[in-house]
């Protein structure tokens, strides 16, 4: 399908949804968790990104997250992030579901976001449960809540379930979508991998934007091979 036809579909959408993954942030220079330049190259995920690791050595975990925050702090949204924010301004019914924790969508101006894996710029108290934004770089280690409790990164770790309310909202958005963009994600990580399937089963027109073919490519309605930062502005601009 030609880009112009997809562009017209997006203009006419009543309940559009987008799902974004690490690929869209990689175009801004955010290191990915996988691949030769991945954040995880020199660390075993289970050593640093689990509740058990935090309980065992919270200072080590916070040092790693402080390093990650310092890498992301100077990175800016790219044209793909801004295009999705513009799409929301034009269509307030638009819902953005992201697997990314870097906060670049919010920095670009998106507001109706479901951050299913949390945000690296959020901290949560392990005692009182209070969550708040914290953009300190470097962050004081160990950070403490006003109640005196230890703060942890506000992200979903290995071995933890995704928040039920965010999952519910995501599946509701996918079920009611008439068009869905799947951008920069391989479509294999669950449960996010189910969102596109849920949308398609409900009758949505599903479009994948990715530089490479993915396991999802054969199951969507249109595949656009290319960089999100190039393709999304052309579709939404």
pLDDT averaged over every residue in the chain:
92
Tokens standing for residue 35: 């691949």
What is the pLDDT, as a whole number, of residue 42?
Answer: 65
State yes or no: pLDDT of 41 exceeds 50: no
- Given a contact cutoff of 8 angstroms between Cβ atoms, the answer to whether 110 and 86 are in contact is no
- Given a contact cutoff of 8 angstroms between Cβ atoms, the answer to whether 167 and 193 are in contact is no
Tokens standing for residue 221: 């309605």
C-alpha span between 157 and 18 (Å, rounded): 23
Catalytic-labelled residue, pool 81, 105, 117, 124: 117
- Alpha-carbon distance values, 50 to 28, 62, 158 (Å): 27, 12, 5
Averaged pLDDT, 27-34: 78
What is the pLDDT, as a whole number, of residue 192?
Answer: 74
- Given a contact cutoff of 8 angstroms between Cβ atoms, the answer to whether 220 and 204 are in contact is no
117 labelled catalytic: yes
**Which phi and psi (to 5°) does residue 115 adopt?**
-90, 90
Residues in CB range of 5: below 8 A, 6 or more apart: none
The tens digit of pLDDT for each residue in 150-177 reads 999 999 999 999 999 999 999 999 999 9
Kindly report the pTM of this predicted structure: 0.92
Q: What pLDDT band is residue 35 in, cutting at 50, 70 and 90? A: very low
What is the pLDDT, as a whole number, of residue 38?
Answer: 45
The tens digit of pLDDT for each residue in 98-141 reads 999 999 999 999 999 999 999 999 999 999 999 999 999 999 99
Q: Which domains does the chain have, with CATH numbers?
A: 1-30+77-117+162-237 (3.40.50.1220), 31-74+121-155 (3.30.1600.10)
State yes or no: pLDDT of 56 exceeds 70: yes
Tell me what percent of the residues of the chain surpass a pLDDT of 70.
93
* C-alpha count within 13 angstroms, C-beta hemisphere, residue 61: 24
């Amino acid at each position: 399908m030609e880009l112009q036809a997809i562009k017209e579909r997006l203009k006419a959408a009543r309940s559009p949804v987008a799902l974004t993954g690490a690929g869209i942030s990689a175009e801004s220079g955010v290191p990915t968790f996988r691949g030769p330049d991945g954040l995880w190259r020199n660390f075993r995920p289970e050593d640093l990104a689990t509740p058990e690791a935090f309980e065992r050595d919270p200072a080590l975990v916070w040092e790693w997250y402080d390093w990650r925050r310092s890498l992301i702090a100077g990175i800016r949204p790219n044209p793909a992030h801004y295009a999705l924010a513009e799409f929301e301004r034009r269509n307030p019914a638009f819902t953005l579901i992201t697997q990314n924790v870097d906060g670049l969508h919010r920095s670009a101006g998106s507001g109706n976001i479901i951050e299913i894996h949390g945000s690296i710029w959020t901290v949560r108290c392990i005692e009182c449960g209070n969550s708040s934004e914290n953009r300190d770089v470097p962050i004081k280690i160990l950070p403490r809540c006003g109640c005196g409790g230890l703060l942890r990164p506000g992200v979903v770790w290995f071995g933890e379930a995704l928040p039920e309310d965010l999952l519910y909202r995501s599946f509701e958005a996918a079920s009611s979508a008439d068009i869905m963009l799947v951008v920069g994600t391989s479509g294999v990580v669950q449960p996010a991998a189910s969102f596109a399937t849920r949308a398609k089963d409900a009758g949505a027109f599903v479009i994948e934007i990715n530089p490479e073919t993915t396991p999802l490519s054969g199951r969507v309605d249109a595949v656009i091979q290319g960089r999100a930062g190039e393709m999304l502005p052309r579709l939404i601009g």
